[in-house]
Amino acid sequence: MPLKFTGDFVVKLSREEVYDFLTDPARFAPLLPEYQGMIFEDPRNFTVKVNVGVSYIKGTAEVKMVLEQADRPMLALYKAQGKLPGGGASVTAGFDLADSPWGTTVSWTGEAQVFGKLASLGGGLLEPLAKKNIQKLIDSLRAALGGPAASDG
């Protein structure tokens, strides 16, 4: 069963500034929860390493990310495949940017599918853990972009 999340927030920066931040792995990847490092291949392809842990399955995940769609300054869409201890994951994360009277509205969506032993053992733990980590990421993005720390969604 895929885990789906959506939300939005407003920052004072222009769409171009927000887009440039969101499409620069060196700037946003370190904001990922449990970030350990990154291997940069080119501006659209990179691999991030993050610590993961559900129940007694713990370790480092290698997540290959691709900037699948890039429409400056309106849209950035990432697709990712991860190798996790006890399984794997497929992730999609998108950011739609729109002008607002206060700067830029960032509407985000995310979907994750976890496979293997991790999915069966993690069971009911996966969704709350994913929600908590996504909230951490969104709060970090908001702070890095100069938005308020509290989240709308």
Residue 93 falls inside a structural domain: yes
Structural domains counted in the chain: 1
Which two three-digit tokens encode residue 141?
Answer: 């993005």
- DSSP alpha helices (H): ranges in 25-112? 25-28
Is position 55 within any domain? yes
Is residue 115 situated within a structural domain?
yes
**Closest to 97 measured CA to CA, from 1, 7, 19, 4:** 19
Whether 76 maps to a domain, the answer reads yes
Q: Is the residue at 153 inside a domain?
A: no
Residue 149 has pLDDT above 60, yes or no: no
Report whether pLDDT(4) > 80: yes
Q: Tokens at residue 18, please?
A: 């927000």
Is residue 21 scored above 90 in pLDDT?
A: yes
CATH at 115: 3.30.530.20
Residue 150 lies in a domain: no
Residues 6+ apart with CB under 8 A from 128: none
| pLDDT at position 150 over 50 | no
pLDDT tens figures, 112-143:
888 887 677 655 677 788 888 889 999 999 99
Length of the chain: 153
What backbone phi and psi angles, to 5 degrees, belong to 23? -105, 10
Interatomic CA distance for residues 103 and 134, integer angstroms: 23
Condensed to tens digits (0 to 9), the pLDDT of residues 65-119 reads: 999 999 999 999 999 999 887 788 899 999 999 999 999 999 999 998 888 876 7
- Chain segment 24-78, per-residue pLDDT in tens: 999 999 999 999 999 999 989 999 999 987 667 788 989 999 999 999 999 999 9
Q: Which residue range is the domain that position 24 belongs to? A: 3-144
User: Sheet holding 3-11: strands in order across?
Assistant: 3-11, 103-115, 87-100, 75-84, 57-71, 45-54, 35-42
Closest CA to 46 of 29, 69, 71: 29
What is the pLDDT confidence band of residue 1, given thresholds at 50, 70 and 90?
A: low
Which pLDDT value is given to residue 148? 63
Position 27 in a domain: yes
Distances (CA, A) of 28 to 18, 23, 118, 129, 145: 11, 8, 26, 21, 10
Q: Which residues contact 72 (CB under 8 A, 6 or more apart)?
A: 16, 19, 23
In a domain, 152, yes or no: no
Please check whether residue 118 is in contact with residue 84, taking contact to mean a CB–CB distance below 8 angstroms.
yes
